[in-house]
Amino acid sequence: MGSEVEVRYRNIKYPRIELRTGKVILILPHGKNPEEVLERHKKWIERKLGFIEECKKEAEGKEPVERNEEEFRTLVLSLVEEFSRELGVKVNKVFFRRMSTRWASCSRKGNLTINRLARFLPSHLIEYIVFHELAHLIERRHTDAFWRVVSRKFPSYPSLERELFAYWFKVWG
């Protein structure tokens, strides 16, 4: 496979594969053979690793946006107000914190958490992140119905998702 593989055993029922910037992490139930999991998912892993490498190359051409914390908070809060009205959803609270694996999240209670590193993203990506998270107040999971909600405002969401992924490598360095 050509990539570094780390195996972790946990008290879980089903194996999980995580890809971290080119490193394959297998999280397996005790006693599960890593080679079996790698072989079964070899094509998927290779496809995802190829995608990561493409995004890393794209990241080289991206420049982080210079925006201070106050400008960022003001932008996000105005987008939350605008998009929550547009979607007819109620946001409880908005939090800003550094997150290590995602740009944002939205709880069932309507609490929105935005990764503080998103302040380095272009405005169109911040808009997309906020709308995406608020769409979770309509549809919790990434179902077809969820993506229909997102595509009403952002029909090119697949390219935005890819751009976000590329920026992840730029911002996290």
Q: What is the pLDDT of residues 115-155, one digit of tens each?
A: 999 999 999 999 999 999 999 999 999 999 999 999 999 99
Is residue 22 predicted with pLDDT exceeding 90? no
pLDDT at 51 (0 to 100): 87
Is residue 1 predicted with pLDDT exceeding 60? no
pLDDT at 21 (0 to 100): 64
31-82 pLDDT, tens digit each: 999 999 999 999 999 998 988 888 888 888 889 999 999 999 999 999 999 9
As assigned by CATH, the class of the 69-172 domain is alpha beta
Q: What's the angle, vertex CA 6, arms to CA 114 and CA 118, rounded to 5?
A: 15
Range list for CATH 3.30.2010.10 in the chain: 69-172
83-121 pLDDT, tens digit each: 999 999 999 999 999 998 899 999 999 999 999 999 999
